[in-house]
Amino acid sequence: MRIISFLGMAVGTVLTAGMLPAQAPAPPKTHLKVGDAAPDFSLRTTAGSTFKLSEQRGKTVVVAFFPAAFTGG
């Protein structure tokens, strides 16, 4: 009975591990200071187009970052 339970746990663990998404690589570390130029980035907008910071050069851009906005906390 113990062998069957162990095999069941092992198979369940392997199946569950195969369903987990792979972890994304960590973003590069930046060492920005107040007054430094922001690094270029691009994001997909809610309308489906791409926003690229470098294309906004000469315009006023406000980047609002709310890290807890979608965390349920």
Cα–Cα distance, 15 to 59 (Å, whole number): 51
Q: Indicate the pTM of the whole model.
A: 0.45
**Torsion sign over Cα 54, 58, 59, 65:** positive
At 50 the pLDDT is: 95
- CB 53: neighbour CB atoms within 10 A? 15
For the segment 21-38, what is each residue's pLDDT rounded down to a tens digit?
667 777 777 788 888 888
Contact predicate 53/61, CB 8 Å? yes
Give me the residue spans of the domains in the chain.
38-68
- pLDDT-based confidence at 44, cuts 50/70/90? very high
